Structure formats: C-alpha cells, structure tokens
Amino acid sequence: MRSGGTGISLDSSRLAVFSLLGALTLFPLGSDVPIQSYKYVEITDAHYPVAVAFLNGGRELTCGSSTGKIHIWDSHSGLVRQLVDYKGM
C-alpha cells in the first residue's frame, strides 16, 4: 500500500492511513492490524496525497480526496457524518 497521507490521534494511540488507491484505514499505533476501515468511494485516474486529521477529541476523522471532496467519519462506527464537495468553489 502506498501511503497518500497519515494522521495520529491526539492521544497518540491510533494512526489513520490514506492509501493512494482511495482507502482510509485506522490502526492502533505500533500494530499492522486494522481497527476500522472507512468507506471511500472515488472514481478517478488521479491519485494525490491528501491531509488526514482527527477532529473533536478523536471522535471524528477527516481527509480530502483527489476529486475535490472532504469526508468526515465517526471514528468508532465508520459512518459518514458529512461529505463536503468543494470542487469549483
């Protein structure tokens, strides 16, 4: 997996990794066994590194995309809380 962005939780216990193929996966720091995967449907031929960050004390996780969208997920359930399309703004 080629990393396109990473983020470490505020308590330094979790690592979020965005692959250049459009997957976002959460790992406990120091382990290669995933805790959670986040749905990230993106159809594009372009794959760019993006920012990955924890929000609201680690309760939410966010990252951008190569198509101009920002996803915000509940970090525990993996459900999408918000999808922002900023393309063309």
Question: 40-84 pLDDT, tens per residue?
Answer: 766 566 667 788 999 999 999 998 877 778 889 999 898 999 988
Mean pLDDT of the 12-25 span: 85
Q: Domain count of the chain?
A: 1
CATH number, domain of 43, equals 2.40.10.480
Q: Rounded distance, CA 85 to CA 39, Å?
A: 16
pLDDT of residue 64: 82
pLDDT band at residue 36 using 50, 70 and 90 as cut-offs: very high
The dihedral over CA atoms of 51, 73, 77, 24, expressed in degrees to the nearest 10, equals -30
Select the more confidently predicted residue: 22 or 75: 75
Residue type at 13 in one-letter notation: S
For 54, the domain range is 3-85
**Full-model pTM:** 0.81
